[in-house]
């Protein structure tokens, strides 16, 4: 099964993309979040009360649409024996389906994390924020890069780095000017270094102290030696932040480009976060590809073939992959064809066209989500699934250059 961005999270994310584009004519779309400790009978009683109150709405159309949505939810609850461990989320309402037509939809989602509060929300759009928050990467690390010329302060939030402040120093070089004694010059230089360290500490403390204590998971300090060691040992950070320093790491760059170097250097320290795991998997793929070992595969058809051979060790899927496999059949001559098309939320299925063998109209007999198909094949051959973000260069390459599908193989298959 998937370890970091699980298939279940992918399903939720894809459904949210669809629901985000749905809207009603008035406040008639119902979003219902039910935590696991809520009694089904209590929810049912509440929905019946809402049903009764909806009859008082002046607009007959709005009243009927809300009551129809509530009827749909009550029917779903009647078939629910027990609320899942993470709770359950329902969306129901009459939405536009194109060509000035409307239709009732009801969606059910098992959230990736526990629902905390019971929420009944009625609005022209669905209330998606609690689920979006569950999918958001929230681990935050403070980043400090410094040498005696410059310093860069930033954050690693989930998988993305952001620059908060860049500082330039006034520390003179080691060559003293004429007219100054060596001792005096060194004194002035040490004062300038101390002042620069203080500016760095103050700027970092101001930025990181704005975060909640449990939100900031730690601080990484990178740069040249002995500069970073002097800064760390000098107590220039707020004492609460000093306790969060996870380690000091050598980096060649101290501007924004050094952030990637710092994160890679801190790989062992950050072993638990998704970004490091993803980078390791994609680096392994590119390494095997460069050595021409035959132990990699890419492209939908080749990877599918290797999955069917049970040769895939790690299946790499881009988090941005959105496609589906459409099966077309001719009911007259039996011709069958399968095509892959890009999936877009709320996009109608294109006309199948005519049979190339006999000319009769083809029928769409099956539509399978590509990620779902590949995840199922991977489970059957005990392959690990790694969902790869496009928030870093190598992850973007997987999507752009390899179509979002690749694999690290157990052995070379020649496919």
Residues 295 and 367 in one domain: yes
Residues 340 and 391 grouped into a single domain: yes
pLDDT in tens, 220-251: 999 999 999 999 999 999 999 999 999 999 99
pLDDT of residue 179: 59
Q: Of 118, 135, 152, which marks where a domain is finished?
A: 135
Whether residues 231 and 289 share a domain: the answer is no
Rounded Cα–Cα distance for residues 66 and 50 (Å): 9
pLDDT number for residue 75 = 97
pLDDT of residue 178: 59
pLDDT band at 7 (very low <50, low <70, confident <90, very high): confident
**For the domain that residue 302 is a member of, what is the CATH number?**
3.30.1330.30
Q: What percent of the chain has pLDDT over 90?
A: 75
Does residue 266 sit in the same domain as residue 285? no
The CB-based long-range contact list for 213-218 (8 Å cut-off, 24+ gap) reads: 213/240, 215/138, 215/140, 216/140, 216/141, 216/142, 216/241, 216/244, 217/139, 217/140, 217/141, 217/244, 218/141, 218/142, 218/244, 218/245, 218/246, 218/269
The total number of structural domains in the chain stands at 3
- Same domain membership, residue 189 and residue 123: no
Residue 96 has what pLDDT? 84
Distance, in Å, from the CA atom of 120 to the CA atom of 125, rounded to the nearest integer, reads 13
pLDDT for residue 137: 66
- The pLDDT value recorded for residue 8 is 81
Can you say whether residue 92 is alpha, beta or left, with left for phi > 0 and alpha for psi between -120 and 50 degrees?
Answer: beta
Task: Examine residue 1 and state whether it is found in any structural domain, yes or no.
Answer: no
Task: Convert the pLDDT of each residue in 50-105 to its tens digit.
Answer: 999 999 999 999 999 999 999 999 999 999 999 999 999 999 999 987 767 889 99
Regarding whether 125 and 21 lie in a shared domain, the answer is yes
What is the average pLDDT value for the chain, to the nearest integer? 91
User: Which of these three, 243, 271, 299, is where a domain ends?
Assistant: 271
324 falls in which pLDDT band (50, 70, 90)?
very high
Would you say residue 170 lies in a domain? yes
Say if 147 falls within a structural domain: yes
Split at pLDDT 50, 70, 90, the class of 135 is confident
101 belongs to a structural domain: yes
Together in a domain, 157 and 232: yes
What percent of the chain is modeled with pLDDT above 70? 95
Let me know whether 130 and 146 are in one domain: no
Which of 135, 156, 188 terminates a domain? The answer is 135
Inform me whether the pLDDT recorded for 354 exceeds 80. Answer: yes
Asked if pLDDT for residue 180 goes beyond 90, the answer is no
For residue 266, what pLDDT is reported? 92
Please, which pLDDT band fits residue 207 given cuts at 50, 70 and 90? very high
Residue 70 covered by a domain: yes
Residues 144 and 264 in one domain: yes
* pLDDT over threshold 90, residue 34: yes
Whole domain around residue 403: which residue ranges?
Answer: 279-409
C-alpha span between 377 and 405 (Å, rounded): 13
Q: What is the pLDDT of residue 158?
A: 77
CA distance to 180, 245, 250, 257, 398, per residue, from 229 (Å)? 29, 12, 10, 21, 38
CATH number of the structural domain spanning residue 31: 3.30.960.10
Indicate the pLDDT class of residue 176, thresholds 50, 70 and 90. Answer: low
204-235: b (≥16 Cβ within 10 Å) or e:
bbebbeeeeeeebbbbbbbbbeebbeebbeee
CATH of the domain at 265: 3.30.420.60
The reply to whether 2 falls in a domain is no
The confidence band for 2, taking pLDDT boundaries of 50, 70 and 90, is very low
């Amino acid at each position: 099964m998937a370890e970091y961005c699980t298939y279940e999270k992918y399903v939720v994310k894809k459904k949210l993309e669809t629901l985000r584009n749905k809207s009603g004519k008035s406040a008639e779309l119902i979003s219902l979040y039910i935590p696991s400790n809520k009694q089904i009978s209590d929810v049912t009683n509440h929905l019946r009360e809402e049903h009764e109150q909806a009859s008082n709405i002046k607009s007959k159309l709005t009243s009927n649409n809300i009551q129809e949505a509530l009827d749909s939810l009550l029917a779903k609850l009647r078939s629910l024996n027990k609320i899942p461990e993470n709770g359950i989320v329902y969306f129901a309402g009459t939405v536009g389906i194109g060509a000035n037509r409307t239709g009732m939809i009801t969606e059910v989602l098992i959230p990736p994390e526990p629902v905390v509060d019971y929420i009944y929300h009625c609005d022209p759009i669905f209330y998606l924020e609690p689920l979006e928050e569950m999918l958001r990467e929230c681990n935050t690390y403070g980043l400090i890069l410094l040498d005696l010329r410059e310093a860069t302060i930033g954050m690693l939030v989930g998988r993305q780095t952001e620059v908060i402040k860049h500082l330039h120093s006034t520390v003179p070089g080691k060559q003293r000017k004429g007219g100054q004694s060596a001792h005096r010059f060194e004194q002035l230089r040490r004062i300038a270094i101390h002042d620069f360290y203080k500016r760095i500490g103050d700027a970092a403390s101001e930025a990181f102290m704005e975060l909640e204590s449990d939100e900031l998971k730690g601080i990484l300090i990178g740069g040249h030696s002995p500069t970073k060691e002097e800064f760390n040992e000098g107590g220039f950070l707020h004492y609460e932040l000093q306790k969060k320093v996870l380690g000091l790491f050598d980096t060649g760059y101290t501007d924004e480009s050094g952030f990637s170097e710092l994160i890679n250097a801190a790989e062992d320290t950050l072993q638990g976060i998704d970004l490091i795991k993803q980078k390791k998997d994609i680096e392994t793929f590119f390494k095997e590809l460069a050595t021409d070992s035959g132990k990699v595969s890419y492209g939908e058809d080749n990877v599918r073939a290797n999955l069917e051979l049970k040769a895939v060790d790690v299946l790499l899927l881009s988090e941005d992959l959105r496609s589906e496999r459409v099966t077309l059949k001719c009911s007259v001559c039996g011709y069958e064809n399968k095509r892959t098309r890009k999936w877009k939320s709320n996009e109608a299925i294109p006309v199948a066209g005519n049979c190339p063998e006999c000319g009769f109209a083809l029928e769409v007999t099956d539509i399978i989500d590509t990620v779902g198909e590949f995840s199922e094949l991977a489970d059957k051959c005990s392959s690990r699934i790694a969902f790869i973000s496009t928030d870093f260069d190598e992850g973007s390459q997987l999507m752009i250059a390899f179509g979002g599908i690749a694999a690290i193989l157990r052995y070379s298959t020649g496919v």
